[in-house]
Structure 1
Amino acid sequence: MPRERLSVVVTRRLPEPVETRLSELFDVQLRPDDAPMTRSELASAMRGADVLVPTVTDTIDAALLAQAGERLKLIANYGAGVDHIDVATARQRGVLVSNTPGVLTDDTADMAMALILSVVRRIPEGLAVMQKGDWDGWAPTALLGGRIAGRRLGILGMGRIGQAVARRASAFGMQVHYHNRRRLRSEVERDLEATYWESLDQMVARMDVISINCPSTPSTFHLMNARRLKLLKPGAVIVNTSRGEVIDEHALTRMLRAGEIAGAGLDVYEHGTDINPRLRELSNVVLLPHMGSATVEGRDEMGEKVIINIKTFEDGHRPPDQVVPSML
């Protein structure tokens, strides 16, 4: 007699190939529209499912986990970041957590470089002129940006994505510097031609461009706070494709408005979709709607990882991408 299929609840619409494969393998409940689940809907899903497949838009905290049913044994997150999930409480309740690391490295690094180029070369300002129909021809001093070759790039967080940014920046002729919780092995540093700074303050004060590539943890919350942002050179640019909470957004907005920082490129925000309206008004700021991982290939590969994690769990083994509190 065939065993009963796992009950899987997916909280958001996923790419069609991913949903089709999930439906073939499991007893899956798909989302009829792309609106995030309400808290009560999440609680209901967690009471009746064996596996929950959430995304970054679902906050799964201790209070919500307390409402989970006895069946829930795996939270197979669709995404690499798990700061929206209380992993420690889940573990205490016997619920495993998995994620999808690695597949978005190149996509996110590409976006970091795109933001650097966009801000330094003033691409959105040029685009706005063309869209308004205000361009009346080339001029020697119009929309002068800067050359990125030779500039010092300070990477905050030198994991997979940070290293991918370093390789791209080197190809553009930038000088690569980095600060990380742990220093890279000497052979990796040589390969990346990267200079390590033990002091984040000292690195920040000397860079032309800062790229935020560290995860969101209690220790990285407002790592770029008002005091540290004031260390930046007036001509410096900061880009963030990681997590919005790493930067004090209000302090950044004040400094950009005052001309104390030359520009910023942001794909993530401290308060989600609630973005400081003054930040939106600035011409030296490029704002994107969390597009760092938005490639067809990346999203399909995320789904494949989710499926592998669930299938491995169903077969009685540890999911290959299991997350434990000591990793955070």
Structure 2
Amino acid sequence: PPPLIRLEKASVGYEPGKPILKNLNLRMDLDDRIGLLGVNGAGKSTFAKLIAKALTVDAGEFHRDGKMRVGWFHQHQIEAMDPEDTPLQIILRAMPEASESSRRSRLAQFGLPFQKQDTKVGALSGGERARLLLNLVAMDAPHILILDEPTNHLDIDSRRALLDALNQYTGAVILITHDRSLMELVADRLWLAADGTVKPFEGDMDDYAKFVLDRAKQAGMKPSQLKPEPVAEAAPVAAPKAEKKKSGPSPSTLRHAVKKAEEEMARLTADLARIDTDLAAAAAANDSKKLESLGRARAKTQADLDAAETAWIAAEEALAEVA
């Protein structure tokens, strides 16, 4: 069968003549499970917007079936939800012709019991909001499902349910996540956003971790940004037992470092979303002073997020070596 999408020498950006990604030569079929890798700021979200039809190519060709449906879940949707809305009101807009009992039954299938269906969104947990949005995105059986950090607000049971649903899903998936275990369990191919383009990545998650660390070292990042914590110097050769104890962090320490880095990335990602919302408002109001201040804040937050991502990858790599 023909591919769902085919990109040939394509470029895409937000302003004419200023591409964020260029020379895209990619093909995606109905049974593909693509893991999209890349540090923050490398263009992963731009690529997702292109596939979701939120952006158009500036140059080259983008072939896709006109009837192709794309479902797109990203964290900004959670931030943008109206806190005064209720799940029942939201599902009413998605299923206007259905009966109330059918809509309530569908919400129950989403994991929202009757007592939660009339609760305002502002009173729902982050996991409940994420489950609601994930199910709404997938409700129309899209041919391609784009999931951008889908597990940030989900508990363990919800993550397992998401994994089961993805394994049963018959369409194509583009997955963007810091959750390494989810990436390894879902993706059968890896694409890498780097150097202003997206290309197939020949390697696994260990190879990607090494790639990011090598890039960070080449960029002259500080050692504290590359490792979750300083590694003790090796003991003298005459004392092998002491050397073993001081050879590096313990598995429990590394697991703690992984969790801490994941929490930091989630916090900084939310901060970036809020700053972007404030930037849009300042631009609409033509407030140059606020735009300048928010621009500096965004640059710092992005740098902190890049450092947190590097620390997470370093901790994951170190944990895999000692596990």
**TM-score of the two chains, using structure 1 as the length reference:** 0.31
| RCO higher in structure (CA 8 A, sep ≥6) | 2
**TM-score of the two chains, using structure 2 as the length reference:** 0.32
